Amino acid sequence: GPTAQEVTVAGQEAATAHTAGSQCRVTPLSSVPLLLQAALERYSLAYVDYKTALQVDCSVQAAHDGVNRMTKALLEKDGVNWRQKLPPIPTVPVSAQTRWSVPSAQKPKPGSATAFLVYSGLFDVSLARMLKEEGNELVKKGNHKKAVEKYSESLKLNKECATYTNRALCYLTLKQYKEAAQDCTEALKLDPKNVKALYRRAQALKELKDYKSSIADIKSLLKTEPKNTAALKLLQELNRA
């Protein structure tokens, strides 16, 4: 497999090509693009990506090296309970390597920049996740306008339900109710029973005085979570409107 140095160099070249508008894409999952995120040394996220990469292809030495390096760094950073602070590690289907692999005759030399371009199916996903995390941090600081920019950049790369609902929350705070409702609608296309999307769209529709649609969303939410106190409170307010 590629060495850690090859991963870094090739990853930089791949990122440059990607930024320049490379159209080279394959369908994920592939172990190599996961290394792009990991190479940035964001310890917790990197550890998860290295472990996920190994589920797809356990022969990638750079991923083994990365797991060891991240384990040491996280132990120093978070102490003996470092595993408790990790994000969930995705479970990769056994069929993933077969389904998403490139035919061996077309496979470039491991560790080359071309390899990273060919195996770039998850590059956008990794970058999108980083942008979403940056947006989340901005929300914690109360900078919702800047967070919207980060979430928007993230959604250009990967349309994810949680990113839509996060941006919707920002729009609600900024009193951009039409945009908030629209984001929740997009989230519900991806996850029709998403509680946050239903609740936040109901909030937005209430502000837009579309009470009938708002009540419909709350009732849909309560089918999933009948004891959701925030939803029950909002329903009471809507019934009085």
Show the domains of the chain with their CATH numbers: 4-121 (no CATH), 127-240 (1.25.40.10)
Looking at every residue in the chain, the average pLDDT score rounds to 75
- Write down the pLDDT at residue 34: 55
Q: Could you report the per-residue pLDDT of 112-124, keeping only the tens digit for each?
A: 443 443 344 455 6
Average pLDDT score over residue span 170-184: 98
Q: Could you report the per-residue pLDDT of 208-237, keeping only the tens digit for each?
A: 999 999 999 999 999 999 999 999 999 999
- Write down the pLDDT at residue 94: 56
Q: Above pLDDT 90, what percent of the chain?
A: 42
Contact 172, 144 (CB under 8 A): no
Residue 181, CA atoms < 13 Å, CB-side half-sphere: 16
> Can you tell me which residue has the tokens 């609608």?
185
Output 167-176 pairs: Cβ under 8 A, ≥24 positions apart. 167/135, 168/197, 168/200, 168/201, 168/204, 169/139, 169/196, 169/200, 170/139, 170/144, 170/145, 171/204, 172/200, 172/203, 172/204, 172/207, 173/144, 174/144, 174/145, 174/148, 175/207
Average pLDDT score over residue span 33-47: 57
3 has a pLDDT exceeding 50: no
Q: Could you report the per-residue pLDDT of 93-113, keeping only the tens digit for each?
A: 555 444 444 444 444 444 444
CA-to-CA separations, 97 to 16, 25, 78, in angstroms, rounded: 26, 16, 33
Q: In one letter, which amino acid is 169?
A: L
DSSP letter at 106 equals G
- Write down the pLDDT at residue 60: 63
192 has a pLDDT exceeding 80: yes
For residues 29 and 171, which has the higher predicted lDDT (pLDDT)?
Answer: 171
Residue 69: pLDDT band by 50, 70, 90 thresholds? confident
- Write down the pLDDT at residue 67: 74
CA dihedral over 198, 138, 132, 63, signed as positive or negative: negative
Q: Could you report the per-residue pLDDT of 43-62, keeping only the tens digit for each?
A: 677 777 777 776 766 666 66
